[in-house]
A and B are shown apart, each in its own frame.
Chain A
Amino acid sequence: MSALLPRRSRRTALAAVGVGLGLAVTLAACSAPGAGGSGDTVAQKTITQKVTAAEVKKEGDISLSLWADVAEKPLMAKLVPAYEKAYPNVTVKITYKSFDDLIATVVNAANSANAPDVFEGNIGYSVDGALVKGKLVRPLDDVAKVYGWTTGTGSSTLGPARWNAAGTAFGSGTLYGMSPISEVQGIYYSKAKLAKLGLTPPTTIAELEKDLPIAEQAGEQPIAVGNSDQYAATHIFSDVAVTDQKPASIAAWIGGEKGATFETKGNEQAAATLHDWASKGYFGSGYDGLSNEDALAKFAKGTGVFFVGGSWNGAALNSDGFGFGSLVSGGVGATASPWHISSKTSHQDAAIAFLDMLHSPQTGQWILDGGRLPVITDGVTASDPLQEQTLDALKQTIAAGTQVGYYDWSTTDMLSKMGGALQEAMAGKITPADFTKTVQATWAKAHG
Chain B
Amino acid sequence: MLFSESVRIALTALFANKLRSILTMLGIIIGVGAVIAMVSVGMGVRQQVQTSIASLGSNMLIVSPGSSSSGGLRGAAGSNVKLKYEDSEAIKNKIKNIDYVSPTVSNSYQIVNGNQNWNSTVQGVTPDFMAIRSLTVGTGSFITTTDLNSRNRVAVIGTTVATNLFGTSNPVGQNIRVNNAPYKVIGVLESKGQSSVGQDQDDVVIVPLTTAQERLMGITYVKSINIQVSDANKMDQVQNEIEILLRQRHQIVGDKEDDFTVRNLTSLMQTMTETTTMITLLLASIAAISLVVGGIGIMNIMMVSVTERTREIGIRKALGATFQNIMIQFLIESVVIGVIGGAIGILFGCLASMAIAKFGNFATVITAAPILLSFFFSVGIGLFFGIYPARKAALLDPIEALRYE
Q: Decide if A and B are genuine partners.
A: no
> What residues make up the interface of B, taking CB atoms closer than 8 Å to A?
none
> What residues make up the interface of A, taking CB atoms closer than 8 Å to B?
none
